[in-house]
Structure 1
Amino acid sequence: MISPPHGHVAPVRVHFDELDPMGMLHHSRYILLFDRVISAYWNEQGWDTDPAKSVFKEVILVVRDLNITYHVPITGISEPLVHFWLEKIGRSSVIYGFRMLSSDQTVVHAEGRRVNVNLDPATLTPAPISAEAREAAITLLGVPVQA
Structure 2
Amino acid sequence: MTAEAPTAPAVSHGRLIPVTVHFDDLDALGLLHNARYPLKVEQAWTELWQEYGIHFEGDWAAAGDACNAVKELRISYEAPVTRTGVYAVHLWLERLGTTGLTYGFRFCSRDGAVTYARGARVLVRLDSETLRPAPWSERFRAVGRELLRPED
* C-alpha displacement of 1:105: 2.9
CA distance 1:139–1:95, shift in 2 (3 Å): same
* C-alpha displacement of 1:59: 2.8
Partner SS, residue 75 of structure 2: strand
Is 1:11 aligned to residue 18 of structure 2? Answer: yes
Superposed, 1:80-119 pairs within 5 Å as 80-119=87-126
Q: Deviations over 1:34-87 (max 9, x none)?
A: 0111101101100121469x7x73131110000000000111112111101000
Map of 1:72 onto structure 2: 79
Partner SS, residue 80 of structure 2: coil
Superposed, 1:26-41 pairs within 5 Å as 26-41=33-48
> Cα RMSD (Å) of the superposition?
2.1
Contact 1:97/1:144, CA 8 A, preserved across alignment? no
* Equivalenced residues, count: 144
Q: Deviations over 1:16-40 (max 9, x none)?
A: 1110011100000001110111101
CA distance 1:124–1:9, shift in 2 (3 Å): same
Match of 1:62 among 38, 58, 69: 69
Q: Deviations over 1:96-143 (max 9, x none)?
A: 000011224332100000000000000000011111110121111015
Contact 1:48/1:59, CA 8 A, preserved across alignment? yes
Unaligned residue ranges in structure 1 (runs of 5+): none
Is 1:45 aligned to residue 57 of structure 2? Answer: no
TM-score calculated relative to the size of structure 2: 0.87
> Which structure: larger Rg?
2
Unaligned residue ranges in structure 2 (runs of 5+): 1-7
TM-score calculated relative to the size of structure 1: 0.90
